[in-house]
Amino acid sequence: MERPNLRVAGPEDEPPRSAWPPFIAQWVLPYLKEPTLLPVTLALLGHVVVVLAPLMLMLWRVGSLWAAVLLIAAAALSSFPIRWEWLDEGGPRGVSAVVVLTWLASVAAAVAGDHWGVL
C-alpha cells in the first residue's frame, strides 16, 4: 500500500472567499438554498409583503413622506443582497429572483388591496 503524499497546507488550499457577509452566509442563505426550508422562507417573505404593501398604499393615497422614506430605505436594503450575489456568483441567481419577486408581490398586494378596498 502506497503512502499518500502529505504536505503543509498553503494559501492556495484555502476555500475561496465569499462576497457574502459571514452572518448572511450562515443564517440567511440556507433558507434560500435548502428545499426543506422553503415553507419558512415563503412565510417570512409573506410578512415582508404585508409590511411593504401598506407603505405603498400610504404613499399612493396620502402622499406620506415617511412611507416614501421607508420604501426608499427598503429598496436600498434590497440592493445589497443583489450586489453580494452578483459579486459572489458572477450574476443574478436565486437571491435576486427572491428579492424581485418579493417587490412584485408587494406591488400586486397593494394594487389588489386598493382595487378591492381591503387595505
What pLDDT, on a 0 to 100 scale, did the predictor assign at position 7? 76
Report how far Cα 48 is from the mean position of its chain's Cα atoms. Answer: 10
Q: What is the pLDDT of residue 96?
A: 93
Q: What is the chain's pLDDT, residue by residue, as a tens digit (119 residues)? A: 788 777 777 777 677 777 888 888 899 889 988 999 999 999 999 999 999 999 999 999 999 999 999 999 999 999 999 999 999 888 899 899 999 999 999 999 999 999 998 87
In Å, what is the CA distance from 1 to each residue of 5, 7, 22, 31, 32? Answer: 13, 19, 42, 45, 45
Domain ranges of the chain: 38-116
The reported pLDDT for the residue numbered 77 is: 95
pLDDT score of 104: 97
